[in-house]
Homo-oligomer: A and B are copies of this chain.
């Protein structure tokens, strides 16, 4: 007999978007019943995953807590949704349950992408980095005793995995088909700095070289690179990007966009108005150009989930999701890197007349204070409109929030002039000096170029 259950708001997926979607929905509609259905018993903090392998030492310290859901009395169900009937508003699970709903949020996330031209990816000793605790625990165990690891793909996950595995004592080679690591996120100058730091820490980096095939009988023993070289290895970690999980939505007849994500409007509504999608599975558009984007970020996912949940029963946030800005940061040793909005390269490619200003100072003042780190801010400005359209930073740990300052500047539509007259807070132990605050100095430099 089919077990049947009815809830008001159903959220499929328990990672960042699912968690925030459910919590926001319940907080704002305490009278509604809310259920999260997810595959995993224990959910991984997505961006924390690389740190399991070095700094944390165990995935048990990287669990997204259920406390928030529990205290709000959101029901948590572990299960796999196999069918969505959007006309009759119910889903079916692998276990045969039927759950009907009033409003649905699809937050099914993404999974690692392995290109089908890659020969040998199925061999033992070849891994990806899914957001799956059971898989990751096994990966960690299997890496024990393996010495030389190749990481393929130098996006944020690849770079952080390389740094952490290196920290854990492994011999790591990071290979990247582009000319620079993190080259999709940062301009050349910033990416080069990151590359230098990672090399200094002992990671062997090969750029401009791809992987052709993975060799070995049952288990991997070597890889063949696109330049013909062979590298002996004990394990391969593929971090070649992620693809949205859209099978359920597609089978239900929801519209996908041209990039294969679930199509959504500015309120995160899908083609079926009572169904919302948020997070890695949901379509994104670039903040500057409104073009489709593939950006996947837990922080963006949370913002989308919040917007979706606030607009479930009535539109409460006017034209709320105006496009994905993409605010990224990472750290390599003591040095951290951040980017928000368009890089110079991307802005030029998109057709902006671009003016940039860049300034390097110290992140404490005086710079002699212990713990001071150099800090570079690069601002990317639309010459015609004067608007700040992006920024990149290199510095100490404080750049994690400094890039959010730039994020708000971009989101708020601030211009160079706004920055020239802006008030900031500074303190010797915490920030750069007020007279040489790199963000403002970069704006001054851009502004002089503008008038030249």
Interface residues of A (CB under 8 A from B): 16, 19-20, 23-24, 27-28, 45, 47-48, 51, 55-56, 61-64, 68, 297-303, 306-307, 310, 316-318, 320-321, 324-325, 327-331, 336, 338, 340, 365-366, 368-371, 397-405, 407-409, 411-412, 414, 417-418, 420-431, 433-437, 440, 444, 448, 451
State in angstroms the CA–CA spacing of A409 and B408 once bound together.
7
State in angstroms the CA–CA spacing of A398 and B430 once bound together.
7
- The listed residue (B24, B299, B398) touching A400 by CB distance below 8 A is B398
Please give me the residue from chain B that is nearest to A305 by CB atom.
Answer: B435
Q: Which residues of B contact A307 (CB under 8 A)?
A: 420-421
Q: Is there contact, CB below 8 Å, between B428 and A408?
A: no
State in angstroms the CA–CA spacing of A299 and B424 once bound together.
6
4 extra interface residue pairs, beta carbon distance < 8 Å, beyond A48-B366, A61-B366, A298-B426: A47-B426, A302-B440, A331-B429, A400-B430
State in angstroms the CA–CA spacing of A272 and B356 once bound together.
37
Q: Which residues of B contact A321 (CB under 8 A)?
A: 421
- The listed residue (B398, B408, B427) touching A47 by CB distance below 8 A is B427
Q: Is there contact, CB below 8 Å, between B365 and A430?
A: no
Please give me the residue from chain B that is nearest to A443 by CB atom.
Answer: B306
- The listed residue (B27, B411, B421) touching A423 by CB distance below 8 A is B411
State in angstroms the CA–CA spacing of A436 and B324 once bound together.
20
Of the A-B pairs whose beta carbons lie under 8 Å apart in the complex, a sample of 9, sorted by A's number, is: A16-B435, A28-B451, A56-B366, A68-B435, A301-B434, A302-B435, A303-B421, A317-B421, A411-B423
Q: Is there contact, CB below 8 Å, between A425 and B444?
A: no
Q: Is there contact, CB below 8 Å, between A56 and B368?
A: yes
Q: Which residues of B contact A316 (CB under 8 A)?
A: 417
Q: Is there contact, CB below 8 Å, between A423 and B444?
A: no
Q: Which residues of B contact A371 (CB under 8 A)?
A: 397
- The listed residue (B28, B298, B412, B431) touching A401 by CB distance below 8 A is B431
Q: Copy number of this protein in the oligomer?
A: 2
Q: Which residues of B contact A427 (CB under 8 A)?
A: 47, 328-331, 336, 400
Q: Which residues of B contact A409 (CB under 8 A)?
A: 408, 412
Please give me the residue from chain B that is nearest to A160 by CB atom.
Answer: B428
- The listed residue (B48, B400, B429, B451) touching A336 by CB distance below 8 A is B429
Q: Which residues of B contact A28 (CB under 8 A)?
A: 448, 451
Known pairs A45-B366, A366-B45; A434 contacts B16 (CB<8 A) = yes
- The listed residue (B61, B303, B430) touching A397 by CB distance below 8 A is B430
Please give me the residue from chain B that is nearest to A63 by CB atom.
Answer: B366
Known pairs A16-B435, A61-B368, A434-B299; A403 contacts B428 (CB<8 A) = no
Give chain B nearest CB distance to A120 CB in angstroms: 32
- The listed residue (B23, B303, B411, B420) touching A306 by CB distance below 8 A is B420
Q: Which residues of B contact A399 (CB under 8 A)?
A: 401, 430
Q: Is there contact, CB below 8 Å, between B324 and A433?
A: no
Give chain B nearest CB distance to A218 CB in angstroms: 35
Q: Which residues of B contact A56 (CB under 8 A)?
A: 366, 368-369
Q: Is there contact, CB below 8 Å, between B325 and A428?
A: no
Known pairs A317-B420, A366-B61, A397-B430; A425 contacts B448 (CB<8 A) = no
Known pairs A16-B434, A401-B402, A405-B405; A366 contacts B62 (CB<8 A) = yes
State in angstroms the CA–CA spacing of A63 and B433 once bound together.
12
Q: Which residues of B contact A451 (CB under 8 A)?
A: 28
Q: Which residues of B contact A299 (CB under 8 A)?
A: 423-426, 434, 437
State in angstroms the CA–CA spacing of A434 and B27 once bound together.
17
Give chain B nearest CB distance to A400 CB in angstroms: 3
Q: Which residues of B contact A317 (CB under 8 A)?
A: 417, 420-421
Q: Which residues of B contact A318 (CB under 8 A)?
A: 417
Please give me the residue from chain B that is nearest to A18 by CB atom.
Answer: B435
Q: Which residues of B contact A27 (CB under 8 A)?
A: 444, 448
- The listed residue (B20, B301, B329, B340) touching A430 by CB distance below 8 A is B329
Please give me the residue from chain B that is nearest to A425 by CB atom.
Answer: B327
Known pairs A20-B435, A435-B20, A435-B64; A423 contacts B365 (CB<8 A) = no
